[in-house]
Amino acid sequence: MARKQSISIIEVARLAGVSKSTVSRVVSDRGGSVSPKAEGLVNKAIEELGYTRNHHASGLRTQRSWMILVMVPDIANSFWAEIARTTQDGLEAGGYSVVIGNTDWSEQRQERYYGLARSGRFDGLILNSVTDDLDAIKDMGIPTVLLGERVEAQDIDTVGTDTRAATRIALDFLWARGHRRIAIATNEHGSERFLSLRRRTYGEFLSEKGVAVDRDLVFRLNLSEEGGKELAKSILSLPRWQERIDAVFCGNDVIAIATIDALAAAGVAVGSDISIIGMDDIPAAAHSRPALTTVRKMRTLTGKAAAELLLARISDPGRPTEKRLFPGELVTRASVAERCIHT
Amino acid sequence: MARKQSISIIEVARLAGVSKSTVSRVVSDRGGSVSPKAEGLVNKAIEELGYTRNHHASGLRTQRSWMILVMVPDIANSFWAEIARTTQDGLEAGGYSVVIGNTDWSEQRQERYYGLARSGRFDGLILNSVTDDLDAIKDMGIPTVLLGERVEAQDIDTVGTDTRAATRIALDFLWARGHRRIAIATNEHGSERFLSLRRRTYGEFLSEKGVAVDRDLVFRLNLSEEGGKELAKSILSLPRWQERIDAVFCGNDVIAIATIDALAAAGVAVGSDISIIGMDDIPAAAHSRPALTTVRKMRTLTGKAAAELLLARISDPGRPTEKRLFPGELVTRASVAERCIHT
DNA sequence: TTGAAAGCGCTAACAT
DNA sequence: ATGTTAGCGCTTTCAA
């Protein structure tokens, strides 16, 4: 492990026989007039010395890091991994490097990343917030794009899926196939407001149909594999669950698939005894048994749009806030019964 | 987006009525003796002013960033995502924040991250190198742990799976079930040396068994979904492939599963007409049709160990190099025929 | 086109 | 325990 010698522009300048200003001019991209000859000399010296620009020093002067942080709640969920990687192309084309932060649905970890951002390490942020604290985001004082639909975030750029519409697609489909006792599994993290979109839509939907919300059918848990196991357990431990639940609408595919697995393992025939519908359409959704019916989100478009908006915001902090919402799309597979057994 | 005012320790010092050294002492963790009273004053001033430490400035002095970069070749592959997230706990416990870099098997992207590292942005690196250029890694001059078995990296800490043994587990199993014409699908990236372990083991195995390597059965491609589609196409386009291939050993589960899907879609009965074995045992492996027989890697242990070794290296750069190899474990499912149809 | 010089915000001797 | 002071390596006026 070759100990990094501190070779600064001073050494380079000395070797090249120019001043450090000249060296600085050639190493900092915004090439302030340098003669070809001087440039050659400098580059030769840089090569010879193996000089690398010290990021802390240049950042201290310019207040720029040329790094973007993309924060996702669960990097092991391919939906988020895909979104993160998709932002990369656009951002790199804009001259930035991108690194990913994984909050694992933890507020504490999120706060840790916020701290990094506040201390000036990143020129921009793309994030899906675990909490509902929009002020904390604004307080970081750096260009930010929110991932997911946050209608209440009036003054922050947002890109995501039209959750309300997507939720209705799922619920409508369940209803059309005769399911009446519909359970919902949403995230246990965040505040009431954070939950509101899926939950509110669920409430609205049921009341439109004239059915009361059964508190026992509202499950708040981690939208993860563990959450799926819990959910299955909760369902099965509900006395006479067959008579109380027709279908469950899951907040994402990860928990939906895990639930299917756990239920199947317990001998339940998903797709006839009970129906499950997910959200996202991750690759694994096509492979569960039964294959998962779900609402597809356009993750590639989402990632691309997020990169675009962030770049635009960075180059013009004063531009009007923009929100880009993509529609969801029903993907019919086998986890929802053709006809609910109770109707 | 509140424009971040440059509130420095000077403003804080002024408001608190102390010197900036005192302020520095309270904000920098290594608490150099400060009276409780002064500390209170300072903290109040910090609160009031909304001061945040400037990372570039402190980094410039201390040459420390308290960030670790974990570089993986494909964040959408849950194997890598899982490893990355697993390193997080240990590293954060050590006081570091971790960000993930996704190279997407691209040398160019890897070089980009190397550049970040060289410029002093990270105190340590955990990485799976896309290339074979160990010198480039050493030249970064920062503590590094390699992911994956790199026997030739004598002087870099390494943690991974015993690839040679894991490969033999797969090959032995195939052989025991009567498969003789075994194809291999490995990575197209990197140099000859990089490929050598799986490939060399494959060559050794075959020669031990007295069978010659058939060049047509050695596929070099992206270990990704796209690679799987290509592989299936290549297999099917081989004249009389049924008579030429009994089984294929895939470099990872992602390509194995994609191959199964593509083959199945073409009407091939995987698990009888042809056998497929993978490597990693990602969650999706249990859900393909047929379910994938594979060699499990211990990704949680790997991530944990990587974090440990890196922390140890950082705190004692002079310690002897350590290599930790975990064994692979056969997971028998349905993608390998009970008995090869040709034997 | 080039150089001299003044900091960016912080930390770390050193002195008190 | 606290203040003074000298930079860390770079960028950026300002002059020449």
Collapsing DSSP states into helix, strand and coil, what is residue B314? helix
Average pLDDT score over chain A: 92
**B109 touches A: beta carbon within 8 Å:** yes
Judge if B261 and B194 occupy the same domain.
Answer: yes
Residue A58 pLDDT greater than 70, yes or no: yes
Judge if A150 and A173 occupy the same domain.
Answer: no
Judge if A270 and A308 occupy the same domain.
Answer: no
Average pLDDT score over chain B: 92
- A340 in any annotated domain: no
Residue A236 pLDDT greater than 90, yes or no: yes
Q: Taking each helix axis from N to C terminus, what angle separates B225-236 and B253-265, rounded to the nearest 10 degrees?
A: 50
Judge if A317 and A198 occupy the same domain.
Answer: no
Of the given ranges (A260-274, B162-176, B193-207, B219-233), which has the lowest mean pLDDT? B193-207
- Is the distance between the Cβ of A31 and the closest atom of strand C smaller than 7 Å? no
The predicted pLDDT at position B3 comes to 37
The predicted pLDDT at position B2 comes to 34
In tens, the pLDDT along A103-125 reads 998 999 999 999 999 999 999 99
The predicted pLDDT at position A94 comes to 95
pLDDT band at A33 (very low <50, low <70, confident <90, very high): confident
Judge if A167 and A292 occupy the same domain.
Answer: yes
Judge if B32 and B14 occupy the same domain.
Answer: yes
- A256 in any annotated domain: yes
Contacts of A116 in chain B (CB under 8 A): 55, 67, 97
Q: What is the mean pLDDT of residues A203-207?
A: 95
In tens, the pLDDT along A129-153 reads 988 889 999 999 999 999 988 777 8
- A4 in any annotated domain: no
Residue B1 pLDDT greater than 50, yes or no: no
The predicted pLDDT at position A31 comes to 63
What phi and psi values does residue B249 have, to the nearest 5 degrees? -95, 115
Q: Residue B42 sits in which domain range?
A: 9-53
Judge if B179 and B281 occupy the same domain.
Answer: yes
In tens, the pLDDT along A279-290 reads 999 999 998 889
Which one, of A114, A190, A126, A116, lies nearest residue A157 by Cα? Answer: A126
- B248 in any annotated domain: yes
- B241 in any annotated domain: yes
More confident residue, B5 or B255: B255
- Give CA–CA dist A65/B222, Å, rounded: 33
HSE, CB side, 13 Å, CA atoms: give it for residue A259.
35
From the candidates A28, A47, A55, A316, which should be mutated to test the interface with B, based on the most B CB atoms within 10 A?
Answer: A55
The model's pTM = 0.91
Residue B308 pLDDT greater than 80, yes or no: yes
- A180 in any annotated domain: yes
- Is the distance between the Cβ of B33 and the closest atom of strand D smaller than 7 Å? yes
In tens, the pLDDT along B18-35 reads 999 999 999 987 667 889
Residue A193 pLDDT greater than 60, yes or no: no
Q: What chain A residue is nearest to B321 in terms of C-alpha separation? A: A1
Residue A176 pLDDT greater than 70, yes or no: yes
Size of chain B, expressed as the number of residues it contains: 343
Collapsing DSSP states into helix, strand and coil, what is residue B283? helix
Judge if A93 and A212 occupy the same domain.
Answer: no
- Is the distance between the Cβ of A18 and the closest atom of strand C smaller than 7 Å? yes
In tens, the pLDDT along A90-100 reads 999 999 999 99
The CATH number covering residue B123 comes to 3.40.50.2300
Residue B39 pLDDT greater than 50, yes or no: yes
- Give CA–CA dist A308/A313, Å, rounded: 9
In tens, the pLDDT along B206-221 reads 999 999 999 999 999 9
Give the total number of structural domains in chain B: 3
Judge if A126 and A224 occupy the same domain.
Answer: no
- B337 in any annotated domain: no
- Give CA–CA dist A174/A170, Å, rounded: 6
**A118 touches B: beta carbon within 8 Å:** yes
- A334 in any annotated domain: no
- Is the distance between the Cβ of B9 and the closest atom of strand D smaller than 7 Å? no
